[in-house]
C-alpha cells in the first residue's frame, strides 16, 4: 500500500487567514523554520492506479494538482481517484467533496449519520447527485470491516476497519438533528490494511484500553496532533473551549497523547491535523524536540509511506 501525505494542518491551514498567533505571524514574515501547510489530506492506493482519499479537505483540488499520480490520465475527463472515505462531517474533513463535483463518479464511504448530515441537511451536496453514476454512498458501520471498492465494484485490495472514537458532531449540526443521530457514528478512526496496517486517527477525544490494543497492532500511525495543551486557544485568547471540549486530546501534559502512548509498540508514529497555534510546529523549539525525543514525527506534506 502506498500512502501519500498531501496536507497536515488542522482546519484553517497554516498560516490561517485571520490568525496572528506567533506561528502564523512568523510564517507570514518568512522567518518560521518550516513552510506553510495545507489542511490534512491523505491519499492511498494498493496498485498505484486506483486511489482513495482519506477525507476531502478544503484544499483538495490544490493538493491534487501538486500530486502527479492524482492527475487525469485516461481521456479528457478522468480521475484516478476512486473514492473518498469520510471520518466525520467536520468541514475541514468534508468540504472538499463539494470541490470534486464535476460529474466525476466517486465512491463515498461514510457512516449513515454523516451521510444524512451532508446529503439531507446541506442542499449544496446535491451537486454530487446530478447524474446517476456520480456519487455512490456506502454506509460504514463502526466495528464492521469492509473493503474499499473501485468504480466498477472491484475490490481495491484495501480492508478498512472503522472505529468509533468520539461522540461529538460538528457545531453546525442542529441539536435536534444530533438527537436523531447515533452518537457512535460521529467520528471515526480507521485502520487500513493490505498486509501491513495503517492507522488514521485525526481526531481523538480519549484513549482507552481497547483503542490502545488496536494501535499496538499498527505498522504506521497517523494521529491527532491538533493542540499541544488543553488550554491552548484559551491562553492565546482566541477561543473559549479546551482541546478536549473540541474532541482533541492534547499532545503534551500528563494524560496527553505523548504520555498515554509512551509504551506504544507501533514502530512509526506521526502527528497530523496540527493546528496553526501548536508550538510543536516550530522545528527550532522545545516542543518539537520533545516530540522527536519521544519517538514521534510531525508529518510533512509530500511524505510518502510504503506499507
Using CB under 5 A as the criterion, which residues of the chain lie in contact with Zn ion when the complex forms? 19, 21, 24, 276
Q: Which is nearer to Zn ion, 113 or 276 (CB)?
A: 276
CB 228 within 8 A of CB 222: no
CA pair distance 97, 234, nearest whole angstrom: 32
Q: In whole angstroms, how close is the CB of 93 to Zn ion at the nearest point?
A: 20
Whether 238 contacts 21, CB under 8 Å: yes
Of 13 and 199, which CB lies nearer to Zn ion in the complex structure? Answer: 13
Cis, bond preceding 15 (omega within 30 deg of 0): yes
Least spacing, CB of residue 177 vs Zn ion, in Å = 31
Closest separation between CB of residue 274 and Zn ion, Å? 11
Q: DSSP characters for 226-269? A: S-SSTTHHHHTTS-SS-TGGGT---SSSTTSHHHHTTT---SEE
Taking the complex as a whole, how short is the minimal distance between the CB of residue 59 and Zn ion, in angstroms? 16
Cβ at position 9, least distance to Zn ion in Å: 10
- The C-alpha atoms of residue 256 and residue 299 are separated, in whole angstroms, by 18
For 98, the 3-state DSSP assignment is helix
Residue closer to Zn ion, measured from CB, 231 or 259: 231
Residues 142, 34: Cα–Cα separation, whole Å: 37
What is residue 97's three-state secondary structure? Answer: helix
Instruction: Pick the closer one to Zn ion by CB: 91 or 266.
Output: 91
Rounded least distance, CB 26 to Zn ion, Å = 10
Nearer residue to Zn ion within complex by CB, 17 or 284: 17
Nearer to Zn ion, 234 or 266 (CB): 234
Burial class (CB in 10 A: 0-12, 13-18, 19+), 101: middle
Amino acid at each position: 500500500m502506498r500512502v501519500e501525505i498531501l496536507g497536515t494542518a488542522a482546519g484553517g491551514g497554516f498560516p490561517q487567514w485571520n490568525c496572528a498567533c506567533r506561528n502564523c505571524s512568523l510564517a507570514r514574515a518568512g522567518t518560521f523554520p518550516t513552510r506553510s501547510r495545507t489542511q490534512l489530506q491523505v491519499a492511498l492506493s494498493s496498485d498505484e492506479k486506483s486511489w482513495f482519499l482519506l477525507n476531502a479537505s478544503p484544499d483538495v483540488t490544490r493538493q491534487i494538482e501538486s500530486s502527479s499520480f492524482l492527475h487525469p490520465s485516461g481521456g479528457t475527463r478522468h480521475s484516478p481517484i476512486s473514492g473518498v472515505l469520510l471520518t466525520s462531517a467536520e468541514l475541514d474533513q468534508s468540504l472538499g467533496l463539494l470541490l470534486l463535483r464535476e460529474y466525476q463518479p466517486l465512491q463515498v464511504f461514510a457512516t449513515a449519520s454523516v451521510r444524512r448530515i451532508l446529503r439531507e441537511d446541506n442542499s449544496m451536496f446535491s451537486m454530487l447527485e446530478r447524474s446517476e453514476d456520480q456519487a455512490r454512498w456506502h454506509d460504514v458501520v463502526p466495528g464492521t470491516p469492509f473493503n474499499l471498492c473501485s468504480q466498477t465494484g472491484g475490490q481495491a485490495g484495501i480492508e478498512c476497519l472503522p472505529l468509533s472514537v468520539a461522540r461529538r458532531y460538528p457545531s453546525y449540526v442542529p441539536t435536534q438533528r444530533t438527537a436523531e443521530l447515533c452518537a457512535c457514528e460521529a467520528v471515526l478512526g480507521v485502520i487500513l490494511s493490505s498486509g501491513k496496517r495503517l492507522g488514521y486517527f485525526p481526531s481523538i477525544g480519549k484513549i482507552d484500553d481497547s483503542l490502545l490494543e488496536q494501535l499496538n497492532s499498527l505498522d504506521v500511525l497517523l494521529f491527532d496532533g491538533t493542540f499541544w495543551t488543553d488550554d491552548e486557544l484559551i491562553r492565546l485568547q482566541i477561543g473559549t473551549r479546551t482541546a478536549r471540549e473540541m474532541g482533541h486530546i492534547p499532545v503534551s501534559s500528563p494524560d496527553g497523547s505523548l504520555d498515554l502512548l509512551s509504551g506504544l509498540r507501533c514502530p512509526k508514529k506521526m502527528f497530523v491535523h496540527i493546528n496553526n497555534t501548536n508550538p510543536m510546529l516550530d522545528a527550532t523549539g522545545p516542543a518539537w524536540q520533545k516530540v522527536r525525543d519521544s519517538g514521534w514525527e510531525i508529518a510533512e506534506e509530500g511524505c510518502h509511506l510504503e506499507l
